[in-house]
């Protein structure tokens, strides 16, 4: 019965929503097309949001492998801690976790950041050299309210490995479009009516800049398998670049 349910409902990790197979042909994403053609979706065992909330979620469902299915890391933003322009080249040789959020986020952002902090604590204890070469990039989707100083102070409350990134409307649009991230801001003079929507995925890139896997809905998972996630991060430092047909195609995005 569980297998039948998984076959009927596939988690669309690129948008953070659930898709039925009939809708997949209407998903206007190259990566989804690749997944369907190469039969990767069923093997990735991507979890539905409901199952992610269960303490019994198998470790293999905590992440979704996307090697070769998403573009390599590419960005041009301003580092909130230094005020300087940074690009993907500045993070070459590091394992990079990429997340989109905003400082006024009431729930999923602080929940996610708190769990990322736990990952770093366990990573430092078990693999200190890996922790030193791992960074978490927090891209604000609300740059109008999230100034550099505010963004830096906010992330400093959670973990020193976190770097806040801020960009103008064009830079932010290009970055969210590149990784199919949902992000919208509806400003209002009334703070209670100021609405921000964003995806809650954590993209993970290897030291060579290739996208390797995502952690969907980490902030909503009450019992993450930290040991599993720490080991996966450590494995990225030991793996090769992973070039292949899918990676080559992804580089054109």
The secondary element (H helix, E strand) that includes residue 182 is none
Query: What are the structural domains of the chain?
Result: 56-250 (3.40.30.10)
Give 31-36 contacts, CB < 8 A, sequence gap 24+. Answer: 31/66, 31/69, 31/70, 31/180, 31/250, 34/68, 34/69, 34/246, 34/249, 35/69
pLDDT at 43: 28
Judged against a pLDDT cut of 60, whether residue 134 lies above it is answered with yes
Tell me which of 52-66, 179-193, 211-225 is least confident.
Answer: 52-66
Confidence of residue 240 (pLDDT cuts 50, 70, 90): low
Segment 161-186 shows an average pLDDT of 94
* 66-122 residue pLDDT tens: 998 999 999 999 999 999 999 999 999 999 999 999 999 999 999 999 999 999 999
Could you report how far apart the first and last alpha carbons of the chain are, in Å? 38
Residue 153 makes CB contacts below 8 A (sequence gap 6+) with none
b vs e for 173-210, b when ≥16 Cβ sit within 10 Å of the residue's Cβ? eebbeebbbbbebeeeeeeeeeebebbbbbbbbbbbbb
Q: What is the pTM of this model?
A: 0.76
Q: What is the C-alpha to C-alpha distance for residues 45 and 43, in angstroms, rounded to an integer?
A: 5
pLDDT at 61: 57
Confidence of residue 13 (pLDDT cuts 50, 70, 90): very low
Judged against a pLDDT cut of 60, whether residue 47 lies above it is answered with no
Q: Between 243 and 87, where is the model more confident?
A: 87
Residue 209 makes CB contacts below 8 A (sequence gap 6+) with 72, 73, 74, 88, 91, 92, 96
Judged against a pLDDT cut of 80, whether residue 4 lies above it is answered with no
The partner residues of 204 in beta bridges, in order of sequence, read 97, 213
């Amino acid at each position: 019965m569980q297998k039948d349910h998984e076959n009927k409902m596939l988690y669309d990790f690129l948008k953070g929503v659930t898709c039925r197979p009939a809708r997949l042909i209407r998903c206007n994403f190259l990566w989804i097309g690749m997944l369907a053609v190469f039969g990767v979706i069923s093997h990735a065992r991507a979890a539905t949001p409901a199952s992610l909330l269960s303490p019994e979620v198998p470790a293999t469902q905590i992440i979704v492998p996307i090697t070769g299915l998403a573009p390599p890391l590419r960005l041009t933003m301003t580092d909130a801690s230094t005020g300087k322009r940074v690009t993907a080249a500045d993070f070459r040789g590091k394992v990079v976790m990429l997340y989109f959020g905003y400082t006024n986020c009431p729930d999923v952002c602080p929940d996610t950041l708190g769990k990322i902090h736990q990952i770093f604590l366990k990573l430092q204890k078990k693999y200190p050299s890996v922790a030193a070469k791992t960074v978490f990039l927090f891209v604000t989707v609300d740059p109008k309210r999230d100034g550099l100083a505010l963004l830096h102070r906010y992330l400093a409350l959670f973990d020193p490995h976190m770097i806040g990134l801020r960009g103008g409307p064009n830079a932010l649009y290009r970055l969210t479009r590149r990784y199919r991230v949902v992000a919208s801001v509806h400003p209002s003079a009334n703070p209670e009516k100021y609405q921000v929507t964003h995806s809650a995925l954590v993209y993970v890139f290897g030291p060579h800049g290739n996208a390797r896997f995502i952690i969907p809905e980490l902030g909503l998972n009450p019992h993450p398998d930290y040991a599993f996630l720490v080991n996966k991060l450590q494995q990225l430092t030991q793996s090769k670049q992973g070039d292949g047909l899918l990676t080559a195609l992804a580089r054109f995005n």
